[in-house]
Structure 1
Amino acid sequence: MVNVGTTIAAIIALLVCSGDQKVSTKDAFTLFENNTGWSNNGWAFLLAFTSPMWTLTGYDSAAHISEETAGAARAAPIAILVAVGATASLGWILFIAASFATASVSDLLSTTLPLPMGQLFLDVLGKRGMLAIWSFIIVVQYVTGAAQGVDASRVVFAFARDNALPGSRWWKRMNRHTQTPVNAVWLVMVLAGVCGLLGFSATALSSLAGASVIGLYTSYVTPIFLRITSGRNKLEKGPFSLGRWYMPIGIVAVSWVCFIIILLLFPPEHAPDAELMNYAVVIIMAVFLFASISWVVSARKWFTGPIKNVDEDPVSYDEKKLDQVDVQVVSNYSK
């Protein structure tokens, strides 16, 4: 609710307080400025998709904590749809408000502040207004980070439960009091802190974010691709289904991810130097080589896939117990 409230407050503040700085409706929706150095405006427009892509992740959070949710088979996908729909709508309105309040994109990009959005709030709301709204944004960032930490810890726990991580016996331990994977949570927090140090280098942080987005979207699209190809006749329909729309939606999703992954490997500006280069491809190749070598040298000898944590289907198990009881009763009666 803090996130939603802060976003709504920011939208209202930008629209109400921009005053004479507010641009016309035509400029807000049609004005285009190419500050990338690329001569092709179409290509520059496509590269603009890469900047917000790291915020368009986390769809899978509901799935990772589904084991702790009642009726997860239906609740998790509904939660994903509601979250994506709500944040997409609010985000779109926020960007429209920012477009109306932005008199000059070039001036925002040349700001001495770490983020152009901070300069926009400073121009529109003044110093006190900017600090007030930014304090809530900081709180939202910490709350969101904590939620992502819970999500990531469940991913670590799931991999460790399948013995797929170094030191799995430590990371899959459950705290006897909280019944949560506390060790996995601490691992995620420590790694997040180390990655946070990269914030002192905009290039390193941008490259890490780009590589993370590519990894996340690859994990999202892989089951979708299998579902619309070889898995069409193998997977049973669950309590939540897209019906006949699963195929066109799946095709669009796979096509979009393949397209955006290519864009995410390009540098944001034309002819970049070492400081502006996109090193996401280096990070991805390092992870790929590590995983490949680990598989060839060791993992292929012992990793057999996910470990089942439910031995029997409840219905089948009850039927088997009843059959055993019937046999025992008949046997006793015969005696």
Structure 2
Amino acid sequence: MSAVSDVSKHSDKSGADIVIREKSQHGDSESIVSVRHADDALLAQLGYKSQFRREFSLLETVAFAFSIMGVVASVSSTFIFPLWSGGHVGMVFGWLIPCLFVMTIAASMAELASSMPTSAGLYYFSAKLAPPKYAALASWITGWANVTGQVTLVCSIDFTCAQMITTALNVGSNGSVNLGNGPTFGILLAILFTHGIICSAGTAILARINIFYVIVNLGATIAAIVSLLVCSPPNRVSTKDAFTKFENNTGWANNGWAFLLAFTAPMWTLTGYDSAAHIAEETSGAARAAPIAILVSVAATTSLGWLLEIAASFATVSVTDLLNSDLPLPMGQLFLDVLGQKGMLALWSFIIITQYVTGAAQTVDASRVVFAFARDNALPGSRWWKQMNHYTQTPVNAVWLVVTCAGICGVLGFSETALSSLAGASVIGLYTSYATPIFLRITSGRNKLVPGHFSLGTWYLPIGIIAVSWVVFIIILLLFPGGANPSAAAMNYAVVLVMAVFIFASISWIISARKWFSGPICNVEKDVAEI
């Protein structure tokens, strides 16, 4: 790592350098200290002083990125999309195809995160890879797109968590308790409030509880897969139907187009893995841990999610019956059909916990993005949102800004297409911010990137081209409504959310930001030895 070699040149001026030298002399007992000093040196080279405690280990970083995607909870939340758009084919291949393309995006992002491990993440990458004349604008666009995606992702996760709770109440009461949009919105606000409290904790606490997140996530996912395969009724579909039976319930005349809309489910699930980059300043050995976390978490979520979709396809006797269920989430009906009331509630309770901790992890991620963007004075009221709590050493103000904005977005819960609107907005926002630095990497930034621990080598160009092309395609796709000729209530409001932020950011740039926003702001002395 270049930071280590640079520091070693100033070993007579910095205590940190001496510790790095002592690593080879004194064995493993010094390894954690030396890595943390090297991380701070590299961060200083990137232009930022260390403000967080580096409490995340490699395992905890992987756990954090994996937890944000919450496999079983995410599949349960978005099961309606493949049911509408292809039935059994939508479940199996509507999951697999997008995931293969997402791996190219994850690989490109892992390379960038390894080279530039900072909480600023994507908008920092864009600033450094863009032509100098357009660096600030590229950073501005990427940052606002990422903030939009992060906040709406928090809202969509917690909204579906609220739906899971109302589903459980309905099943537990044998249908006598059927909460509407108002109570669901109230539950959403309560979940957001508790997440605000949890995510205001210190980094050490947040790092440790991520291990618990993974245990719950993996356990619930494996239990769901086994239950659907073992306990499904004798009249479950054949292997041929499970993989090849196609049903178009969207209202769109073109079956190919209808099938493409099933991609919403895996695209929404496979978001947030950039979190490994956003907690880089809280991670030991970030240049190595961040890319590993991105790649492992995406690969694991892809594999487990596909197995769960296949199991669900086998267990689904009638797609129509699931779509006509009175429960808010069709997956709840599937578990009820397969496991009965008690079995469904037992498994569903763990899925609710999984979705709850997924929302908590995402709130942490979103708050780090807000903090980093505010640190570079890019948000209204930045002086408040970039403040660090002296006790917890975390950006508590940024946490509560995320929670508040997510609550406002939750008003969309009163529409018929709440989930598709929130999911679409989060995917469009996040993947726009993912694709921008990747596009700059394969164009103006070809010779600018200093490779980190993980590098794609010469493969960066074809992989990057595929990644950017896929994002352009998926953004266009997700702007369309789920069904043909939608009413106002059934409209896809993702475009409204995204355009509102785009218009605000554009006007802000034209009127004032272009005069004062210069991209990431260096807040350390250039001499790394001064760390």
User: Pick from 125, 138, 148: which aligns with 2:352?
Assistant: 138
Select the structure of larger CA radius of gyration. 1
Would you say the 8 A contact 2:275–2:365 is kept in 1? yes
Aligned residues: 317
Structure 2: how far apart are the matches of 1:26 and 1:147? 39
CA displacement, residues 233-263 of structure 1 (integer Å, 9 cap, x when unaligned): 1222222101222122111111111111110
User: Pick from 359, 364, 381: which aligns with 1:150?
Assistant: 364
User: Pick from 494, 498, 502: which aligns with 1:280?
Assistant: 494
Match runs of 1:300-315 below 5 Å: 300-314=514-528
User: Pick from 198, 202, 215: which aligns with 2:412?
Assistant: 198
Structure 2: how far apart are the matches of 1:21 and 1:7? 24
Would you say the 8 A contact 1:13–1:125 is kept in 2? yes
CA displacement, residues 87-134 of structure 1 (integer Å, 9 cap, x when unaligned): 111000000000000011111111111011011001101111111111
Structure 1: how far apart are the matches of 2:240 and 2:359? 37
- Alignment-derived partner of residue 88 in structure 1: 302
Say whether residues 1:187 and 2:390 are aligned partners: no
Structure 2: how far apart are the matches of 1:202 and 1:143? 26
Match runs of 1:229-268 below 5 Å: 229-268=443-482
Structure 2: how far apart are the matches of 1:271 and 1:265? 14
- Alignment-derived partner of residue 3 in structure 2: none
Q: Percent identity?
A: 79
Structure 2: how far apart are the matches of 1:309 and 1:108? 55
Would you say the 8 A contact 1:21–1:102 is kept in 2? no
Q: What's the CA shift for 1:18?
A: 0.5
Structure 1: how far apart are the matches of 2:442 and 2:527? 27
Structure 1: how far apart are the matches of 2:368 and 2:299? 24
- Alignment-derived partner of residue 512 in structure 2: 298
- Alignment-derived partner of residue 27 in structure 1: 241
Q: What's the CA shift for 1:283?
A: 2.1
CA displacement, residues 268-300 of structure 1 (integer Å, 9 cap, x when unaligned): 111111122112222222211111111122222
- Alignment-derived partner of residue 377 in structure 2: 163
What is the DSSP-based 3-state SS (H/G/I as helix, E as strand, rest coil) of the residue aligned with 2:461? helix
TM-score when normalising by structure 2 = 0.58
Structure 1: how far apart are the matches of 2:247 and 2:430? 30
- Alignment-derived partner of residue 226 in structure 1: 440
- For 2:237, give the aligned amino acid: V
Structure 2: how far apart are the matches of 1:190 and 1:265? 25
- For 1:99, give the aligned amino acid: S
Structure 1: how far apart are the matches of 2:513 and 2:218? 44
Say whether residues 1:36 and 2:250 are aligned partners: yes
Would you say the 8 A contact 2:228–2:335 is kept in 1? yes
Q: What's the CA shift for 1:264?
A: 0.2
Q: What's the CA shift for 1:230?
A: 1.4
Which is worse superposed, 193-202 or 95-104? 193-202
Which structure's relative contact order is higher, taking Cα pairs within 8 Å and 6+ residues apart? 2
CA displacement, residues 20-44 of structure 1 (integer Å, 9 cap, x when unaligned): 1321110101111011111211111
Q: What's the CA shift for 1:313?
A: 4.5
Structure 2: how far apart are the matches of 1:297 and 1:271? 38
- Alignment-derived partner of residue 214 in structure 1: 428
- Alignment-derived partner of residue 340 in structure 2: 126
Structure 2: how far apart are the matches of 1:275 and 1:208? 14
- For 2:313, give the aligned amino acid: S
Which is worse superposed, 292-301 or 21-30? 292-301
Say whether residues 1:46 and 2:266 are aligned partners: no
Would you say the 8 A contact 1:225–1:250 is kept in 2? yes
Q: What's the CA shift for 1:62?
A: 0.5
Structure 2: how far apart are the matches of 1:86 and 1:80? 10
Structure 1: how far apart are the matches of 2:338 and 2:525? 61
Structure 1: how far apart are the matches of 2:496 and 2:289? 38
Return 5+ residue gaps in structure 1 as ranges.
319-335
Which is worse superposed, 182-191 or 193-202? 193-202
What is the DSSP-based 3-state SS (H/G/I as helix, E as strand, rest coil) of the residue aligned with 2:337? helix
- Alignment-derived partner of residue 326 in structure 1: none
Return 5+ residue gaps in structure 2 as ranges.
1-214
TM-score when normalising by structure 1 = 0.91
Say whether residues 1:108 and 2:322 are aligned partners: yes
What is the DSSP-based 3-state SS (H/G/I as helix, E as strand, rest coil) of the residue aligned with 2:483? coil
**TM-aligned CA distance change 1:9 to 1:280, over 3 Å:** same
Q: What's the CA shift for 1:65?
A: 0.5
Structure 1: how far apart are the matches of 2:229 and 2:402? 39
What is the DSSP-based 3-state SS (H/G/I as helix, E as strand, rest coil) of the residue aligned with 1:21? coil
What is the DSSP-based 3-state SS (H/G/I as helix, E as strand, rest coil) of the residue aligned with 1:251? helix
Structure 2: how far apart are the matches of 1:310 and 1:70? 20
- Alignment-derived partner of residue 290 in structure 2: 76
Q: What's the CA shift for 1:314?
A: 2.4
Q: What's the CA shift for 1:52?
A: 3.5
CA displacement, residues 50-96 of structure 1 (integer Å, 9 cap, x when unaligned): 24422220120100000111111121011000101111110000000
- Alignment-derived partner of residue 219 in structure 2: 5
- For 1:59, give the aligned amino acid: Y
Would you say the 8 A contact 2:415–2:489 is kept in 1? no
CA displacement, residues 158-196 of structure 1 (integer Å, 9 cap, x when unaligned): 011111111111111111111111111121122223333
Q: What's the CA shift for 1:205?
A: 4.0
Q: What's the CA shift for 1:197?
A: 4.3
Structure 1: how far apart are the matches of 2:311 and 2:376? 47
What is the DSSP-based 3-state SS (H/G/I as helix, E as strand, rest coil) of the residue aligned with 2:325? coil
What is the DSSP-based 3-state SS (H/G/I as helix, E as strand, rest coil) of the residue aligned with 2:272? coil
**TM-aligned CA distance change 1:92 to 1:313, over 3 Å:** farther
Structure 2: how far apart are the matches of 1:274 and 1:293? 27
- Alignment-derived partner of residue 67 in structure 1: 281
